[in-house]
Amino acid sequence: MLELKDVCFTIKKDGEPHHLVDHASLKVPRGHFMAIVGPSGCGKTTLLKTIAGLNPESDGSLWWNGRNLSEEGDLEPWEIGYVPQFSIAYPQLTVDESVEAATKLRVKSSSTEELDERIDRVLEETGLATLADRPVNVLSGGQMRRLGLAMELVSDPRLLLCDEVTSGLDPRSERDIVHLLHDLSRKEGRIVLSVTHSLAHLELYDSILVLHEGKVAYHGPPEGLTHYFSVDNTELVYPRLAKQASEKWRHAWLKHRDAYHQKLIINRDRMVDEGSLELPELARSQTVTENQETEELVEEEMSDSIRAPGFVSQFFTLLSRRWRILLRDRGQIILQLAILVCFPLLVTLFSEKANANMRKFSAATSSSIEAKIEESAAVREDRLKVGSAVSGMIMFQVVLLSLMGSNNAAREIASERLILEKEKFGGVRPLAYLASKISFLAILVVVQSLWMAWFVDFFWPFPEAAGGFTRHVSYLIMVNAAMTAVCLGISSLMRTAEQASLLSVYLVGFQLPLSGAVLALPSHVETFTRPFISAYWAWSGSVKSLSGEHLTAVKTVIETALSTTNVCFFVLAIHIVVGLLASWVGISRHQWD
């Protein structure tokens, strides 16, 4: 049984407390199908989220099978299913793949046969068996709602919460979804609560909960709705509500609720006797005064077969799904290939100047002073040309890899925030999710950086000294990883993908002018900005890895001081750590809305 005792959810509005849910009290027995209705803004979705644990109750308590959820913690992820208004499936996957991923993330299966059996049962139960191989992006609205239900049913939840799952559907699809929810409530004592604006098909519900300004105005059988509100048809209920203050409706209801709840229990017992409602054996003898011991025994009996998957299982499921999505996203594949080809080509435009010979001073003593001056000017001119080209090539590689890092991660989390929140609610560990993102992006970073270094090295071999090419490659990997990690952190902290993309673009845009590679910054500006500019540390470290003549040539064209290679590595590593910590904070905190 689900029971609410004077539950409130309160927010501050203009400095004053405002009850979105106002002392809601009700009892919902096992095997029950309840509609939550009321005028717009009356608190229907807020109440549903409060029951789900997404909104912490400000006052009162929620009870589930004799357990005080307000004191003993929320329901286990397998116990509850929440079907939101938005889509919770990736368009690149098929129906079967979506349900399979949801199953692997929520339920530990002992064998492939058990996994397949669970998936097939859920697809059959929701009428999706014939659509198993159909891509999600071609499903109709009604089929998408069925898929959302299927992805919640994989763990056999005892409490299924549905938020406007019939909104926007045609009448036939709406009727089919309501019938499906009705059938789901008849199995294993499952409670199904459905928020709806529609007053159609009310006869299929076991009870109707009417809210008015956050207060319970009625909770009873659908056939008693018109009689209670003294109207001829259900369409007149909302206008009737508006004629009286919500507090009066609440007080009127308190006088009648026990009698109406008794009717609900009698109707449930009648359905059990008729065989139209399946309940666990221990639950069939329960009455209105269901005791906690019996409830706990029933729950233990029903939960024996449900186990949550471990970290490793969730990690590999998330990682394999991410690669599958990428490989099916033609636009993203084309973009990645274009970047891999075009960016290194842009760098090699400077290779001819960087490969130019640098003349040295002649050792001959018979040269005239005029000749020595001309020779010195020529040598200096060569150094300027080569130094400028070499410094530019290194910085160009660094900035372009920073742009790749931004492209890798700016939308990675923000674009799927709602799906992430839904999967966290279903039991996905934030650490497993973050680890899958790090592993996926790490492969992109290494491939992009190595390809950039090897491609450019073919046209302009990096001078072998002080670590030479190897050290240069390591800096390219580090700057790409640093920018990827920082933009991943931005993506996890921002509320929308557009915000994350815009901030990440600005961040990359400041890398070149604030690096000091083109023009040295004023010392007071440099001191403040340099710790945050990944491009400076990768450029500085790579320049320090050059051989003697090339290093001398670069130093003739730059005024910015170079840091030691160890410091450059250390600072870039800090950038990576900070980015990952920001990602963890953003992933861990609740951002459902």
Q: Chain-wide mean pLDDT for the chain? A: 88
Q: How would residue 288 be classed by pLDDT, with cut points 50, 70 and 90?
A: very low
Model confidence at 365: pLDDT above 90:
no
Residue 458 lies in a domain: yes
What pLDDT shows up at residue 198? Answer: 85
Q: How would residue 437 be classed by pLDDT, with cut points 50, 70 and 90?
A: very high
Are residues 279 and 349 part of one domain?
no
Are residues 321 and 173 part of one domain?
no
Q: 13-27, 56-70, 119-133, 540-554: which has the minimum mean pLDDT?
A: 540-554
Q: Which domain holds residue 116?
A: 2-299
Radius of gyration over every alpha carbon of the chain, rounded to an integer in angstroms:
32
Q: How would residue 361 be classed by pLDDT, with cut points 50, 70 and 90?
A: very low
Are residues 415 and 285 part of one domain?
no
Residue 593 lies in a domain: no
Residue 100 lies in a domain: yes
Average pLDDT, integer, range 417-422: 92
Q: How would residue 416 be classed by pLDDT, with cut points 50, 70 and 90?
A: very high
Kindly state the DSSP code that residue 564 receives in the 8-state scheme.
P
Model confidence at 499: pLDDT above 60:
yes
| 187 or 441: which leads in pLDDT | 441
Highest mean pLDDT: which range of 93-102, 353-362, 510-519: 93-102
Q: How would residue 307 be classed by pLDDT, with cut points 50, 70 and 90?
A: confident
CATH of the domain at 20: 3.40.50.300
What pLDDT shows up at residue 528? Answer: 86
Q: 132-136, 225-229, 308-312, 516-520: which has the minimum mean pLDDT?
A: 516-520
Are residues 540 and 450 part of one domain?
yes
What pLDDT shows up at residue 289? Answer: 44
How many Cα atoms are found within 13 Å in the side-chain-facing hemisphere of 258?
2
Any residues with CB less than 8 A from the CB of 30 and at least 6 apart, and which?
Answer: 1, 189, 190, 191, 268, 279, 280, 283, 286
What pLDDT shows up at residue 573? Answer: 97
Give pLDDT tens digits for 96-150.
999 999 999 999 988 999 999 999 999 999 999 999 999 999 999 999 999 999 9
Residue 304 lies in a domain: no
Model confidence at 229: pLDDT above 80:
yes
Residue 441 lies in a domain: yes
Residue 495 lies in a domain: yes
Average pLDDT, integer, range 262-274: 82
Our count of domains for the chain comes to 2
- pTM of the predicted model as reported, rounded to 2 decimal places: 0.89
Average pLDDT, integer, range 141-168: 93
Model confidence at 387: pLDDT above 90:
no
Contact in structure between 368 and 449 (CB atoms under 8 Å): no
Model confidence at 374: pLDDT above 70:
no
For residue 16, the SS3 value is strand
Q: 228-237, 282-291, 355-364, 556-565: which has the minimum mean pLDDT?
A: 282-291
Are residues 358 and 240 part of one domain?
no
Are residues 238 and 337 part of one domain?
no
| 247 or 355: which leads in pLDDT | 247
Residue 305 lies in a domain: no
- Among residues 240, 264, 299, the one where a domain terminates is 299
Residue 215 lies in a domain: yes
In terms of Cβ atoms closer than 10 Å to its own Cβ (0-12, 13-18, 19+), residue 312 is exposed
Q: How would residue 287 be classed by pLDDT, with cut points 50, 70 and 90?
A: very low
Ordered alpha helix ranges (H), 275-357: 292-303, 311-328, 330-348, 351-354
Are residues 405 and 485 part of one domain?
yes
Residue 261 sits at the vertex; the CA angle it makes with 256 and 263, to the nearest 5 degrees, is 105
Average pLDDT, integer, range 79-99: 91
Helix axes 141-153, 171-184, angle to 10 degrees: 10
Give pLDDT tens digits for 56-77.
899 999 999 888 988 888 888 8
Sheet holding 191-195, edge to edge: 80-83, 159-163, 191-195, 33-37, 207-212, 215-220
Are residues 377 and 243 part of one domain?
no
What pLDDT shows up at residue 72? Answer: 84
Are residues 202 and 351 part of one domain?
no
Sign of CA dihedral 39, 40, 46, 51: positive
Are residues 320 and 191 part of one domain?
no
- Among residues 253, 268, 299, the one where a domain terminates is 299
Are residues 538 and 435 part of one domain?
yes
What pLDDT shows up at residue 71? Answer: 86
Q: What percent of the chain has pLDDT over 90?
A: 60
Give pLDDT tens digits for 465-484.
556 788 999 999 999 999 99
Biggest CA-to-CA distance, the chain: 120
What pLDDT shows up at residue 189? Answer: 83
Q: How would residue 369 be classed by pLDDT, with cut points 50, 70 and 90?
A: confident
Are residues 414 and 285 part of one domain?
no
- Among residues 265, 299, 333, the one where a domain terminates is 299
